[in-house]
Amino acid sequence: MRGMIVCIALSLAACAKKPEKVVVPDVYRVNFETSQGNFVVEVTRAWAPRGADRFHELVQVGYFNEGRFFRVVSGFIAQFGVHRKYEVHATWRQLMILDDPPKGKNMRGTLAFAQSGPNTRATEVFINLADNTRLDEEGFVPFGKVVEGMDTVDKLYSGYGDMRPQGKEIDAGRVEESANDYLVPRFPKMDYIKRARFLP
């Protein structure tokens, strides 16, 4: 299955090679270059091993590159993780991972996977813009934290508000079904990830 996933995101030449097994570090950092500037995320496997491994896999294949921060609610969260191309997102969103036992709290700057029930985490991630400890009881398990550039995260455009029905403009179904084809022309002020890459 991993080989098929990698083939979606990489070239055909890369697909011809047998994927190498990656050992995910206990702690690793990822630099996010965005339309507002850079921020750095530090991931700690001990907090949520399955979540940390999936996040590492997504960064490795360039999944987040050109993806939009499609749900930014001031004082709450900034969410991303829908691939720029629907065909890729449609495959990955079915590859859900098992839950991690909760260890940390959803404090400002921490990252957790979005989910819609037990064992439904896949690709969508949010950054807590405030202390959202109420999310702890709902099964959202932090796996990392913004350690540099939280001021950049705070500047992500939030003018479009939450998704429907809480908000008025962004259709969650269209986000899932059309990705950037829906988001880019309709929400030109929406910030995005230029590139996410591992730091040494």
Domains of the chain: 22-198 (2.40.100.10)
Q: What is the pLDDT of residues 100-109, one digit of tens each?
A: 999 999 999 9
DSSP class of residue 133? G
Question: What DSSP string describes 175-200?
Answer: HHHHTHHHHHHH-TT--BEEEEEE--
Q: What is the pLDDT of residues 2-33, one digit of tens each?
A: 444 444 444 333 333 444 578 999 999 999 99
**What local confidence, expressed as pLDDT, does residue 22 receive?**
83
How many angstroms separate the CA atoms of 60 and 44, rounded? 16
- Give the global pTM: 0.90
Q: What is the pLDDT of residues 32-63, one digit of tens each?
A: 999 999 999 999 999 999 999 999 999 999 99
* Residue 54 burial (C-beta neighbours within 10 Å; 0-12, 13-18, 19+): buried
Q: What is the pLDDT of residues 156-187, one digit of tens each?
A: 999 999 998 888 899 999 999 999 999 999 99
Cβ within 8 Å of residue 70, ≥6 positions away: 79, 80, 82, 163, 170, 175, 183, 187, 190
